[in-house]
A = this chain, B = another copy of it.
């Protein structure tokens, strides 16, 4: 049941430093790419390094210090970017749904990671300027977040508390 997986997923930060098998990495990105998107533009772009890669340090140094403390034990760091343009008919336009759609793609990835027994945590704070240099992403892409993925060392028993449904969903009017 996906409801169980959704409830079970949490942002796991404590990782063991183990390598993630390439096969699982592929499954994660495949899941991401299956999200819906406005005009099927698929605005998501992922640039990643594995901890054994030469580029690891350059990506890792773009993580904010508070997250570096635990992200050092990730197996993979992913830069998540959104393509800000899409083609409507013959026109290139600003895609106002890019960020929303990229968020949806990352949720697929998070649920897939959870089912694969991987730890995954989205990190908002990061040095976007240096990440742009490191990744080679053009200015047509906005860098949104980074993601740390790894083997969980420890799974917290609880999760951050959530608002009850009646505080997020309103019938008719807020």
Residues in chain A within 8 A of chain B (CB atoms): 1-3, 5-7, 9-11, 25-27, 29-36, 38, 40, 42, 44-50, 53-55, 96-97, 99-108, 110-112, 114-115, 121-122, 124, 134-138, 144-145, 160-163, 165, 168-174
Q: Quick one: copies of this chain in the complex?
A: 2
Give A160 to B33 CA distance when docked, in angstroms. 11
Give A36 to B38 CA distance when docked, in angstroms. 22
Give A165 to B171 CA distance when docked, in angstroms. 40
Contacts of A137 in B (CB 8 A): 174
Inter-chain pairs besides A97-B124, A104-B110, 9 sampled, C-beta below 8 Å:
A6-B111, A46-B170, A47-B171, A49-B171, A97-B144, A100-B106, A103-B106, A107-B107, A138-B174
